[in-house]
Structure 1
């Protein structure tokens, strides 16, 4: 499909939604962004006193730009200015101090005629208001601003002293594969498509993000760990725990999609996990155990746990029992890291001598360990594993660990109450979520593990409702508010997806398309970031399908 055909496809939806600004602002300002899906979008803009003039000028510029760049346009996005506010650069700087980094959701015009203008998406994709990970708020990055302004407007250099105009925009996106889609205007959803929260749409998210993860598994079975997409830079680190937990989420997705390419990637990842990353060790009592070893010779409690999750899930889905012996050895490794008297866990050991490195590192490890053991128990019904979990829960309950509102503990208590439907465990699960609803409804970051927490809790709540024995515990929870918060978190996660209409502004769109990102970490895409979004949406799809 040609550029002209894409423009013709988009035009009716643009005309139906665009409105003129009031004097003294330019009546119509139109942006046209074009991308072949492989390179950062080329963007042109034009302003005029009528829509016909502004459209004609913008189309002329985009055709000329496409010809100059020899651009085969596969993605086309058209935006227009809906409102504008004139302020000083000093005032903008003050406002940015109140905005979380990368959460500035407006465009900027640097002159009254709106000749030098930037969309919110190109501002963020070029780190123009990002001061680094040590600054929590947005800030004018003069270096990045100047670099991009020079590129966009032929050596134009902003002086940062004149007035600036803060813009609200709206857009339409279309491609060779998709009909025109109206995008959200200003607000938390700004710049992405209006997507229904129905099973078909959620299945599409699962399919795209799990496909993305499959492309990140190299022939060796090791992942490409992650990317900084603004400038297409790899994240030069590795974490074996996240290797295993990401593989688990891929298995959850494969249960839904049964995609052959995804399964092949899972197999490569598991081969690398079991053949290279997991090491055997003889314990002082004569038991043969296994441990996931991370960089620096560390054995993390959570590492063994997520290996159990991945291997138990694989065994459950395929019926292949080849990993049962390894599952037992990994579980024995976790038992080795538990105090048999208190139920507390040691978090980090040194490998190979298994000496204690850190008794406590991060609360998540304990929930992961208990959940991993419950999945091992669910698979094998070996009583040793649930005994470890019940000891751990005595420790969790005594220490009010529910105050951490950990999604792994939510997963675990849901599993535990399936086999031990005792009031103390149900109460812990309710406490883990009940006082957290306002936070979940109002949190500005996508925080994907919140949906995981709620989906596991929802399964437990449904079982409580089915039996009068523990139903009184639900008096501690506003059920209506719980489901509002659940739906709020699920829909808000759509703002962390790399839709083509957002990916097109980054340096290498096809590298990140279909993945999920963490906005306040410079739109970081890391395998475990995608993992948590994916696991949440797999559970949410199950929730939608049972409604």
Structure 2
């Protein structure tokens, strides 16, 4: 099936999960009308970004309207200001998670690109200001803080730092404000030397490194991206899990690696192998797709027929980004 058609049909499915108040029908078993327990604001924001990314290609008004409702709910239910009106944060059940701010920035900036409502960009900048205030002496970020007490949690996510760095570059792309790039560069200088995100096969770090490369060529950063990409290719353990989202995330990461310009000198064999793996992954991902455009979890267990908005998000993004890149190959 044509990749843009897959992405669009699944985005329509995701848009139809946005209820009148902007809350997603977050998680359910395929064929059941009953919504399962749980909600995660990070996935809410990430799903908006995927919706609006497809809108960029299709200009389908259903996707834009769903994204606008979902952003309204995001801001109404989760936006707070931490100790200072300049530091906006996404707070869920008294917890501020770095990834929540990062993915909310992606959603807000995406919508701003279409509506040009300065309010959205201002909020994104305030969310980014909070993230910069959360930098640590080790050169990374605080990943989780309790809103009321201010206490820092020991929790660390494998994804939050990559999400935050990508969000900073995404914001810089639109605002042309180099403070966001400078902050990302300072953090990446340390992370590259630490092999950060390599063992985790972080697709978010690859999103960031590809986006940064459009601003400046830094050989150490390209090498960092190559190490993550090679780890994905050399350690395909995720395939044995037989779940849709781990495959989709690696597809997203490899596509970000392939978007790096040929002039940066990435080995041609690596490009060839990454392209082959992407095609194989997408074929696997289609086995999780259902007639209504949804993607199930998979995994050959009791949750295999479960649908959740992030399963849609990552599969949508991988097919969309493949469609954009395929014309170059």
| TM-score of the pair, normalised by structure 2 | 0.92
Alpha carbons 2:201, 2:231 under 8 Å: kept: no
Q: Which residue of 2 aligns with 1:448?
A: 248
Quick one: distance in 2 between partners of 1:231 and 1:216? 14
Alpha carbons 2:89, 2:127 under 8 Å: kept: yes
Compute the displacement of 1:206 (Å): 1.5
Q: Which residue of 2 aligns with 1:416?
A: 212
Quick one: distance in 1 between partners of 2:235 and 2:11? 28
One of 351, 360, 367 as aligned partner of 2:147 = 351
Pair 1:240-2:37 in alignment: no
Compute the displacement of 1:522 (Å): 2.0
Alpha carbons 1:346, 1:356 under 8 Å: kept: yes
One of 105, 112, 116 as aligned partner of 1:319 = 116
Alignment of 1:216-255 (within 5 A): 216-229=17-30, 232-255=33-56
Compute the displacement of 1:435 (Å): 3.1
| CA shift in 2, pair 1:329/1:352, >3 Å | farther
Higher strand share: 1
Quick one: distance in 2 between partners of 1:435 and 1:364? 16
RMSD (Å) for aligned C-alpha atoms: 1.9
Compute the displacement of 1:354 (Å): 3.0
Residue by residue over 1:313-361, the C-alpha shift from the partner in whole angstroms, topping out at 9 and shown as x without a partner, is: 112233332212101110011112211x431111101113432123x42
Higher RCO structure, 1 or 2 (CA under 8 Å, sep 6+): 2
Quick one: distance in 2 between partners of 1:429 and 1:420? 14
Quick one: distance in 1 between partners of 2:235 and 2:283? 15
Alignment of 1:290-369 (within 5 A): 290-294=88-92, 296-339=93-136, 341-358=137-154, 360-369=155-164
Residue by residue over 1:52-85, the C-alpha shift from the partner in whole angstroms, topping out at 9 and shown as x without a partner, is: xxxxxxxxxxxxxxxxxxxxxxxxxxxxxxxxxx
**1:515 alignment partner, SS class:** coil
Quick one: distance in 2 between partners of 1:448 and 1:362? 19
Alignment of 1:451-466 (within 5 A): 451-460=251-260, 463=261, 465=262
Aligned residues: 321
**1:403 alignment partner, SS class:** coil
* Structure 1 unmatched ranges of 5 or more: 1-195, 500-512
Quick one: distance in 2 between partners of 1:431 and 1:442? 17
* Structure possessing the higher radius of gyration over alpha carbons: 1
Alpha carbons 1:440, 1:489 under 8 Å: kept: no
**1:393 alignment partner, SS class:** helix
Compute the displacement of 1:535 (Å): 0.8
One of 208, 215, 221 as aligned partner of 2:9 = 208
**1:541 alignment partner, SS class:** helix
Pair 1:516-2:295 in alignment: yes
Compute the displacement of 1:488 (Å): 0.9
Quick one: distance in 2 between partners of 1:232 and 1:221? 18
**2:119 alignment partner, SS class:** coil
**1:436 alignment partner, SS class:** helix
Quick one: distance in 1 between partners of 2:199 and 2:304? 29
**2:102 alignment partner, SS class:** helix
Quick one: distance in 2 between partners of 1:478 and 1:269? 39
Pair 1:483-2:283 in alignment: no
**1:496 alignment partner, SS class:** coil
Quick one: distance in 1 between partners of 2:238 and 2:131? 36
Quick one: distance in 1 between partners of 2:228 and 2:143? 22
| TM-score of the pair, normalised by structure 1 | 0.56
Q: Which residue of 2 aligns with 1:428?
A: 224
Quick one: distance in 1 between partners of 2:30 and 2:147? 35
